[in-house]
Structure 1
Amino acid sequence: MTDERSRTAAGEGGVDLDLARALFPELAARVDAAYGRNRTGRREGGDGVDGREDSLDAWLDREAAGLRRSGTAGAAFGEIADDAARSRFERAFAAARKTVARAGLRLPEPELFADAGVDLAALGASAAGDAALVPVPAPHGLGAEGWLSLFDRATGGEAGRDPVALLLATEVLRGFPVLDEVHDAGVPRVRAAGAGGAAPGRATPGEEVVWTLRLVPAGDAPPVAGLGFAHGPHVSLPEMLMLQLMRLEAGEDPVDAHTFTWLAGVLAEGRLAARHVYDAGERAVRISVRETGNQGPHLGARPPVG
């Protein structure tokens, strides 16, 4: 089987034959041999070799598709040496995939993050060294309405659990485009269309959602506490919201029930910054603002890794 035929099958049917060939090398060799004989027979005017090429190709197609559906292929995170860390990546992507699917979004496959420049091996090593670090694939560019819609769908009746509200202060709504951005220029990005060709809550089809993948400290409280906004770096708003939604999807309690976390991006010409808290009594994630110089024992940073 030539590379050209593998690429064509993957592009038309959504099945990665290269993955199937890697998982079933002996059978792939038989396919290659059958294809070679079949091609010779066709040059001589024959009809092929009893349809073996087509049947073996179809089998590889079915096996690769089944592996993708079941999520058992494991090839995406094969660069991660530590078994426990690799399992955390797999669970994180499973939770994120279910979360965004409720709003019609499709989570990019791990291979796309790797192709964009994400060093999965390095992230895996960092995760192996700190159990509090959680892989968080996050969509940037949904807009305030998009995130409100995602929370409504991902935590409400469709999810089969008590809803968790997302409450945004007026200053946050006013400056949401700033908070919705990717602030670190060095972070790899995967660009994809939003739900139905447009981001949720957006009227214009074709607007891009920009995905990032970093590790976020996911302890109950920020690991760096008692300091002002200048002591970063800081997790982005989309990363923090996705972390909470992923935890809810996995049946875990939200973080920041008794603390606040600074969020990346400054508002009001640099005077204000956003902060995150989970209000357990109201079952609500609240995003408000404080002056950047504000500090206290319950306010801190969750420096992302990646």
Structure 2
Amino acid sequence: MGNLLSAGMYRLKYSKLFYILLGLLVVTLTLCYIQAIPQTVSLDVSPTEAVAHEEGYVTMEFEEPAPFYPLNSLFFQYVLLNLISCGVFCPLFLSHEYSDGVLRNKLIVGRNRTQIYLGNLTVNGLYGATATVLGILTGLCVGMPMLKGFGETEPSTLVIYGLFSLITTWACVSLFTMAAMIVANRAVAVALCIVLAFGLYFLGQFLTIGLSQPELLQGGLIWRPDGTFQMADPAPNPSYISGFKRQVYQFLYELTPGGQCFQIAEMGAETPWHLPVYAGLFTALTTGIGLAIFQRKDVK
């Protein structure tokens, strides 16, 4: 097992794909931070008292908006990029196992299939861990100076979500490793993993939008004949998901890597400690299924 890991890490060290994907991660995050700079303008304005403007018989008051720290909503976006990049890296990095006869040679020299599978999973996991650490460092070294910090967000919250992002990225890696190890055709494996990556991304986005719908819609303004106005009563939201359907949405939101990634990216998990539990469950499930199929696979 040690020799397998050493060989895998040696390949990882000299893999162009490894450095290209990490470079794209840094560039993409940096561009996101640059685009968010205009949103920090309110941080440079000193608070002022509310200003009253008379406009006919209506008095309107405008208050200075509260400071907005865009880094809070951008810092963990790297976990969404990890979902896509792992779907590209894992099948391409493991494609030589079948095409170059490496897998057959490993079996000939006495390595069992469990060792081979777990060794490849570990090496792919190292890519995911490196991408996660690099995403955090980019946020700290580039995002913080540009976007003026996290405001009142507790450091412990950042640490917790950082650890969760590492665990969730590993869950993504386990899925793509399973697909790459049980599909011998390189083109099919790459296509399958990319489809899975984007499928999980859009599933997570769909679940996020569905579960974020409010139960009641804010009522509008009702103008009275005397020139005054009042707020209308809130109305039921037809898009609100309730009952058993909401339970299914919530379960998929917490179990699937796509849903987990969106919760981490937005730091909006209702039950944060469910994330590592479900990510661990998903990793164990995909690894178990992958091993079971790989054990019976005919290696030519």
Q: Same fold (TM over 0.5)?
A: no
TM-score of the aligned structures, taking structure 2 as reference length = 0.24
TM-score of the aligned structures, taking structure 1 as reference length = 0.24
Higher helix share: 2
Q: Rg: which structure is higher?
A: 2
Higher strand share: 1
